[in-house]
Structures are given as structure tokens and as C-alpha cells.
Structure 1
Amino acid sequence: MIGDLKEARRSAGWSQKTLADRIGADAQTVKRLEKGVGSVTTLVAAMKALDFRLTGLGPGATLADQLRTRRRLRALSVSEVASKACLTRATVSSLEQGGGSVASLLRLLSVLAPNARRRAPERAYWGQGDKEDRDSRFTPPEFMDGIYAAFGDVDLDPCGHALSPVIAKRRILLSEGGDGLVDDWSGRLAFVNPPFSELLMWLRRAHHQWSARNVETVVCLVPVRTDAAWFHQTLSADADLFLLQGRVRFLSPAGKAQQTPFSLMLVTLGATGEQKDRYSELVPGFWLARRRRPGADPSCDVPDVTGRKPPAPRRSASSTPATSPRRASASLA
């Protein structure tokens, strides 16, 4: 597992310092982690940053949940597992609550799930082009015309690219040392067409920057992928979703247009009723009804028949992590 984690970092093109910056630690902490030394809390942060997930362990929203589920599926008590792994009952209980050390975790895994391994990362490229450049697919100008007309001028493209036709007052470019997953966003409108291989990372970042009021409105162009728990628990209550009819023909770095093999949607944060109405007049598709948060006042988070909604307090910026890992390849601006 530790070797796989190190390989995942290298595959992402990150140094130990880069990963450390993404998880709010120092390079020495990451170096020790890659030797199997450190806390499970740090390990989980690194796994999240690298989109590193385990298979062969069992279902669960968190690593701790997976450990607990795995033990129960094997009909083992805490005492039995502790004895087999040469750990104390307190240590096993701590690991099942998200605590403990990496060394203890590895011992526990050797008993509960000796075949646990990294789940293969999702492939996000399409077509027969250069797989190394699979995330360099740019939003066509004709698609952007609808964005400009409905939402106004774009102040920020946080996952910009030098070849992107997106017109923005400010672009955050990896080629210039910037990183939209780390650098603060700003302006009235941010347009986000992220690398699809790191979709959830970018949606979390967009939500955090909007919640922190660094930007007034965020418009994201992304695949229709709604399986993540965070999407259902958080994003679906705060965002307006527009399902696009048909497929978008993205541009390659060489300028060749290629249609996506999957459906796309807009995920908007802070969009007004007027903006939404205008966009639906210009572009084929429809807006989905906003999900109501349990116990919330319906007037606060559910649009009325006109698509307009009264102002409501935003989620606290502290409810979402302040930093997210950077993307591993060129942007999809």
C-alpha cells in the first residue's frame, strides 16, 4: 500500500514537497509517510489528495468505516483482530475511528485484508490521441458564447491553458507556476472546465471558493457524474444543475474538434434566476430542481417556478477543506 501511494504521487508528477503543500504538512512528513511512518490522519489526507482509493477492503465512506465493516464481515471481534495483528484493543478501536499510526494500520490490514490494493484510477481521456495529453481539451468558442451571453464576462479561469479560447480577465496557468486548486480565486464570475480526471477535486475547490465568498458566481462544465457521496450531501443542495442536450465538441491542442462520448452538465453556484432563464433560452437542455437540505426552510434553497430564489446564507467556509490537491496534467479550460 505504501509503495502504491508513492507510485501514485510520482505518476501525478508531484514531488514530496508538492504533496506536502497540498495536505498542509512539510516534506519531511511525506518522506516519513512513504516509509510507513506517521499518522493515519496524514495518510488519509495524502490519499484524498492523490485520489488514492483501496479495493479489496470493503464498503464504507471512510477508511475507518471500511476497516470496521471488514472486521464485521469476517465475524471477528476487536479482541480477536487485536490478537492476530499483535495490537492492543485500544489501538484497533482507534484505527476504526480514524486514528492510530500507519504502522498499526499496516498490521491490521495484513490480518483483515492482505490483498487490499489501490483501485485503478478512472481513465478520463477519449479518442485515440496522446494519452499523456488526455486532459488538454478546450471549450469551443461557440459554447462559450452562451456562457458570456447568460452569465456575463468571465473574470477568472482557474484551470486555464495558454491555448484555451476562453476569454477571461485572469487565468491561473500551471505553465506559469499557478495552481487553481491552491491559489485563491477572485472576481464576479469564474468559469471552470476542469481536467475530467480530477473532477471531484475541482468541484470541491469551486464550492469552497464560492462558500468563502472569493467569487460571486461559479459556472462549471463537467461530465454528468453524480455518484460521489459529497455530491449528494453537499453540492446538490447548494448548486443549480443544467443538463445539456447533445454533446460538446472540445478542441484538442492541435485545434481538432472531438465530441465527448458522455453527457455534460453545468454546475453553477450563485447563479441568479435571470441568468438561468437566459441560459435555458439560448442552449438546449433544462435545469434540475435544487435538492432541499433536511430540516431547511423550503424558501431558502428551492427555486420557485420562475427559477428565482430569495437570498440565503451560504455554507460556512470552514465546512469544506481550504486546500485541495493540484491536478496532475494540463487543464481543460
Structure 2
Amino acid sequence: MLDGRTLYDPKWYQIMIDELREARRLAGWSQRTLADRLGVDAQAIKRLEKGIGSVSTLISAMTALDFQLTGLGSGRSLPQQLRARRQKRSMSLDTLARKTGLSRTTIASLEQGGGSVASLLRLLSVLAPRVRRRAPERAYWGQGDKEDRDSRFTPPEFMEGIYAAFGPIDLDPCANTLSPVIARRRIILSEGGDGLTDDWSGRLAFVNPPFSALLVWLRRAHEQWRAGMVETVVCLVPVRTDSAWFHDTLSADAAIYLLKGRVRFLDTTGRAQATPFSLMLVTLGATAEQKERYAQLVQGFWLSRTAETQGEQDQPMPRLTY
């Protein structure tokens, strides 16, 4: 037994792997997307998320997802942290081998970045039983900008791709007097309007919502589109896909485009600053032609979709493939 857990408790072994899977989902990446970024087969990621595979693949995935561990020790890499942890606890390779049931050679290999994920998890259960994922730091736009982090405006050069692919914008429901977005109708809170309560209208609505109220605005956009108040909605939002509503409701109707690189938003002084997080377009009612034009103009890719039943391409309620 170890801290009330059996050494071979597969449930405990799976904790870190579950966290890694969740980090991938929060990034908005499918298993294939992560595999492509690592240059491995998608099957390797599928196996990794079952606790099977090589430590080298695990380390590459952790790097791509900015997945860091705490409770190990100093070191720039996982192998360095393992070695530092063992030395801090004054444990020789032979001693650790006896405690883990692993061979001395296997432990030495793990400290060089080799070995299997199963061996690594067994080693961690003895060497660092309280190891866990380090909580990602909350990203703000810049030092001292926490209070006005919602006061950021979509740059004109980014909007050119929106106009060219989707056409003129009829409605900006969360507009600002300083925003360069061109729309026939703008709902501005400081002028008495409220896009969360006022009815939407028109063929195309573009929504760059306050990111602190992201889910509220996405729900409103989906509600107004479902009610037929607006034909097409294009939302520019951070890649945050962890809510149950996103998975259970929005993903059934939305087409999502993952943007490559970072968008340089404008602050209230007109200064441009890149977002400290990835962005995506969440579109409702976009046509195949509009999506194709946008992909030709802006770097990124549309998430693949698969219909729940066989039929025409416009079969209702398709779902995203993760």
C-alpha cells in the first residue's frame, strides 16, 4: 500500500492521463490534430490517453499542450525532474527499483526520457505520489490590464477576411463606439442598447463578445439564430470548449474554425497587442461556400464534422468530431 492506495491501482495511474486528455479538449484539439502536431499516428494519441505508449510521446504531448507537473522538483524537462526528485530523496537506482518493482535499467531509461508510460506512472506512485498538474496561469492581455481586459477591439485587417468570406455585416450586437467593425446596425451598451436583451436582426451578425462573459454571449447568439432572428452568426472567441452546454447543444449546430497564430487586437488607445490565448470562429448558419472562402483567406482549418445519420450534406444536427 502507498498512502492508502495499492501500488498498482489503475484508477490512480489514470489521473494524470485523464488530465492530459482534458488539456487537449480544452485546447479544442481532436486526437488527430494533436497527432499531426507531434508528427505521430492518431492511434498513438488514442493509446496515450489510455495510459499506453512511450514516454517520449507523452513528453511531446505535454510540451504541445503546455502541460506541466508540480510535486516533482526542479528541472526543465520531465526526465530531469525525475532524476532531481530521486536525488532529493536520497534514493539510489537500486533502492527505487526495489520499491517500484521496476528494473534499475528501466528507471535509468525513464530518467533519460525513454521507457513506457506505464513504467513512468508506476515510478511516480512511489517517487512523487502527490504529483499533479500545475494549474495553468490565467492569461491576461498584459501587465496591469486586468480591469479592462474586455476593452479590446477586432482589428480592421482581421475583419477584411470576414467581409470577404461572409459578406456585409448587418448587426454587431455587442458593439463599442471605438470598435472599427463596420455594421449596418450596432447595439451599444453605453448608448442604452443591450445585445443580451434586444432582438437581433439581419442576414449576418458578427459577435466579438466580452471574453469574461463568453458563454452568456454564445448562448444568446445560438438562441437568436435558432429563433430565426438572424440568418448567419459569426463569433470570434477564445478556444474554450469545456462547458457541458458547448458539447451538448452548441456543437450540434456550429461550424468551428481554429485560427492559426494570434490575432493582434486593439486597445482603447489604438495600440495592437496579440491575444495570450488561441482563438476560433464559431459560426451558425454559414454556407459551404462561405466556409471555403474563409479557409482560402485566413490560415487555420475547419473542424471536421460527421452527421449522426446518413443523408444529405445539410442533414440537421451534425456533431463535431473530437
Per the normalisation by structure 2, the TM-score is 0.54
1:236–1:291 contact (8 Å) kept in structure 2 = no
Q: Secondary structure at the match of 1:235?
A: helix
The match for 1:157 among 163, 167, 172 is 172
1:239 and 2:243 are equivalent in the alignment = no
> How far is the alpha carbon of 1:176 from its aligned partner?
0.7
1:218 and 2:222 are equivalent in the alignment = no
Whole-angstrom CA distance in 2 between matches of 1:205 and 1:170: 17
Number of aligned residue pairs: give it: 182
1:124–1:196 contact (8 Å) kept in structure 2 = no
What is the 5 A alignment of 1:1-333?
125-290=140-305, 292=307, 296-299=308-311, 309-310=313-314, 312=316
> How far is the alpha carbon of 1:159 from its aligned partner?
0.5
> How far is the alpha carbon of 1:161 from its aligned partner?
0.1
Whole-angstrom CA distance in 2 between matches of 1:129 and 1:146: 31
Whole-angstrom CA distance in 1 between matches of 2:158 and 2:213: 22
Q: Deviations over 1:221-258 (max 9, x none)?
A: 00000100011101111000000000000000100001
Q: Which has the larger radius of gyration?
A: 2
Corresponding letter in the other structure for 2:153 = F
Corresponding letter in the other structure for 2:175 = G
> How far is the alpha carbon of 1:129 from its aligned partner?
4.1
Whole-angstrom CA distance in 1 between matches of 2:183 and 2:297: 21
Corresponding letter in the other structure for 2:167 = G
Structure 2 stretches of 5 or more lacking a match? 1-136
Whole-angstrom CA distance in 2 between matches of 1:235 and 1:299: 21
CA, structure 1 residues 126+204, in 2 after alignment: closer, same or farther (shift >3 Å)?
same
Q: Deviations over 1:272-307 (max 9, x none)?
A: 000000000000000002354xxx43436xxxxxxx
Q: Deviations over 1:7-66 (max 9, x none)?
A: xxxxxxxxxxxxxxxxxxxxxxxxxxxxxxxxxxxxxxxxxxxxxxxxxxxxxxxxxxxx
CA, structure 1 residues 201+298, in 2 after alignment: closer, same or farther (shift >3 Å)?
farther
Whole-angstrom CA distance in 1 between matches of 2:139 and 2:150: 7
Q: Deviations over 1:132-182 (max 9, x none)?
A: 322010000000000000000000000000000000000000111111111
Corresponding letter in the other structure for 2:180 = P
Whole-angstrom CA distance in 2 between matches of 1:124 and 1:135: 13
CA, structure 1 residues 188+199, in 2 after alignment: closer, same or farther (shift >3 Å)?
same
1:157–1:168 contact (8 Å) kept in structure 2 = yes
Percent of residue pairs bearing the same amino acid type: 75
Corresponding letter in the other structure for 2:222 = H
1:124–1:134 contact (8 Å) kept in structure 2 = no
> How far is the alpha carbon of 1:311 from its aligned partner?
6.4
Q: Secondary structure at the match of 1:266?
A: strand
Whole-angstrom CA distance in 1 between matches of 2:164 and 2:297: 8
Q: Secondary structure at the match of 2:311?
A: helix
> How far is the alpha carbon of 1:187 from its aligned partner?
0.3
Structure 1 stretches of 5 or more lacking a match? 1-121, 301-308, 315-333
